[in-house]
Amino acid sequence: MPPDSRHQASFHTTRWTQVRQAKADSDDGRKALADLCDAYYEPVVAYLRCELRDADVAREMSHEFFAQLLAGGGITHAEREHGRFRSYLLGAVKHFLAHQREAAQRLKRGGGAVPVSMDEDASAAQAIPDARQISPDAAFDRQWALTLLSRALEAVRHECTAEGRAVFFDQVKPWLTGEAAHGDQAALAAACSMTPAALKMAVQRLKQRFRQCVKAEISGTLDDAAMVEVEMQVLFAALAS
């Protein structure tokens, strides 16, 4: 089976396809929406953690954000022609957070108790930004990139397992993720009963497959295939932040 067709058979449903499915009031629609929430949960948490400076509150608010999506209606206005699904979701999170802050301020004016992390009049120490802290948008993009790479790597692992090469994948995974130490390939080649040249070629093929899977995952979140390379550069920049 050609690599592209094998990939289509095994890889995750594209995000925009899931968006269309998620709009349907059906079991399949609800499952598609749940899958979307799972795919983007960590990027949303990363964004809220930077905004709120409280990991526990960020998790709680992420749960509430996705609970609203799962309850229906939150994905209604997402359309493929609007561009990147990543950008749409980030905008939705910002809208959600703004509403939460407005509600907190109304509660405060009414005499109710407000959690410190949502209080814009919190201590000056909390208001001072940490120069080492990346922006919330950058945190969202970085976690999006890490999540996307993880999903693409899982697709390669699934393919290798289907071909009876699960052990080999585990052995060469450090070379796919850039975690291998220099000079380790010779020892691995001996362990795999391969020549160094044969191992190098096998690793290079898996690297190419990994990149294809990354591109396929990215293309599913865009409305224009010509934007894939641009989005790849965004991914690299996000990882470097």
Query: Quick one: the chain helix, strand, coil %, rounded to 5?
Result: 75, 0, 25
Place of tokens 């905008």: 91
- Distance separating alpha carbons of residues 152 and 138, to the nearest angstrom: 21
Q: Give residue 86's pLDDT.
A: 81
Q: How far is CA 68 from the centre of its chain?
A: 19
User: Would you give per-residue pLDDT tens digits along the chain (241 residues)?
Assistant: 334 443 333 334 456 566 666 656 677 766 766 777 777 889 999 999 999 989 999 999 998 888 877 676 555 555 544 557 788 888 889 988 998 888 888 777 665 544 444 444 433 334 444 545 789 999 999 999 999 899 899 999 999 999 999 999 999 998 888 887 666 778 888 888 899 899 999 999 999 999 999 998 887 767 677 788 888 898 889 998 7
- Distance separating alpha carbons of residues 101 and 16, to the nearest angstrom: 30
Overall number of domains in the chain: 1
CA distances from 224 to 75, 125, 234 (A): 20, 44, 15
Chain segment 125-184, per-residue pLDDT in tens: 344 445 457 899 999 999 999 998 998 999 999 999 999 999 999 999 988 888 876 667
pTM, 2 dp: 0.72
- Asked if 47 and 92 touch (Cβ cutoff 8 Å), the reply is no
Domain span at residue 22 reads: 3-125+134-240
Sign of torsion over alpha carbons 120, 125, 130, 133: negative
- Taking residue 142's Cβ as centre, other Cβ atoms within 10 Å add up to 20
**Nearest CA-CA partner of 75 in 91, 56, 53, 98:** 91
